[in-house]
Amino acid sequence: MVSDRSLEVLRVIVQDYVASREPVGSKSIAERHSFGVSAATIRNDMALLEEEELITAPHTSSGRVPTDKGYRLFVDHLSDLRPLSSAQRHAIETFLGSSVDVDDVLARTVRLLSQLTRQVALVQYPLRSQAKVRHVELVALAPRKLLTVIITDNGHVEQRVVDVPSDLDDKLISDLRQRFNEAVSGLGLLEAATALEGVADRFPAESAPVASAVAATLHEQVTANRQEKLLIAGAANLVRTEDDFHGSILPVLEAVEEQVVLLRLFSEMEADQRGVTVSIGRENESFGLGETSILASGYTGVGSAVSRLGVLGPTRMDYSSNISAVRAVARYLSRSLGESGSAV
């Protein structure tokens, strides 16, 4: 059983080690923090923490550093989250508020989160399997070239250029637009993909090849929207903190590049009472990320399920500030997507 004072000693060890990257000794704690007890008493508390495997000595006769178990206990008892400054809050509102569409707001979000935390930032695209088709638009670009646009109820706009086998005219484009909207408007993406399969059969023989080309392109668009993917920024921050990894950072860089592992990890994380999930060190070992910590929170857009955003970095990170940043950005992103979705 760890006493309240021992928990406080653990707290300052974590904070001092995160700030300095130097092992923390009892004398340093007694001098820098107001415990009102001697360095010898602090040493006794540290010995108890070491017995509980919450701290460890990286070298003989050195100070102590937190273990993964120690970081976990620290985070579980973390009550005083460091609030964002007014300048940071203003930067979030200004930066995200000037986005032009969903893709832009997500790109801005991941860059902003990386800058706020100085970690690798990850934003999962909205899970559009639950999104619905709001409208299909067709725009002629040339006699045999057409722009196909799908707008979903979560504000996402997906567009492709399709080459068709015969010349287009206004009447045919209008007919195509009407029939494809009648077929898929209001349907979920999965249902829309199925509904598109029979639309071309309803056209006269002379225009059926054009309708088939348009249907195939629209099918690709709704199918692509159902795939999960991440936007990532700040991978260079891993290199900056390379000394915090005992082995090679190559597996971490590979996981960032591949995305599949991170998406699977995201899917298994559940938020705590603060609305943020923290997975530390060996808790990520099965994903090949045993020397990293991942902080994640959920966000929602209009018509979408809960998706995740977060940061990844070494276990030696500023958990208090990073949890605040992740939570705040998730809230602003949900609000931004809600507003952009209702405006489409």
Of 41, 43, 39, 23, nearest to 31 by C-alpha is 39
pLDDT confidence of residue 130 = 66
Fold of 129-225: Enolase-like; domain 1 (3.30.390)
- For 44, other C-beta atoms within 10 Å of its C-beta total 16
Q: Does the domain made of 86-127+228-343 have the CATH classification 3.30.450.40?
A: yes
Residue with tokens 């969903």: 102
Q: How many helices (H) and strands (E) does the chain have?
A: 13, 10
Q: What pLDDT score does 92 carry?
A: 86
C-alpha torsion sign, points 148, 150, 151, 157: negative
**Residue-wise pLDDT tens digits, 191-211:** 898 999 889 999 999 999 999
- The yes-or-no verdict on residue 318 having pLDDT over 50 is yes
Mind listing the pLDDT tens digit for each residue in 275-291? 789 999 999 998 889 99
Q: What would the mean pLDDT of 101-113 be, rounded to a whole number? A: 88
pLDDT at residue 344, rounded to an integer: 29
Tokens matching residue 191: 């249902």
Mean pLDDT of 128-146: 87
Region 227-248: mean pLDDT is 86
pLDDT tens, residue by residue, 326-340: 999 999 888 887 765
Q: For residues 11 and 80, is the Cβ–Cβ distance under 8 A? A: no
Answer with the residue of higher pLDDT: 182 or 62: 182
Q: Which CATH class is domain 4-76?
A: mainly alpha
pLDDT band at 226; cut points 50, 70, 90: low
Give residue-wise pLDDT tens across range 123-134.
Answer: 988 765 567 899
pLDDT (average), residues 133-161? 90
Q: Average pLDDT in the 238-247 region?
A: 87
The CA-based angle 243-246-250, given to 5 degrees, is 85
Domain coordinates in residue numbering, the chain: 4-76, 86-127+228-343, 129-225
Mean pLDDT of the residues in the chain: 87
pTM across the whole model:
0.72
Q: How far apart are the first and last CA of the chain?
A: 56
More confident residue, 14 or 247: 14
Helix (H, G, I), strand (E, B) or coil at 208: helix
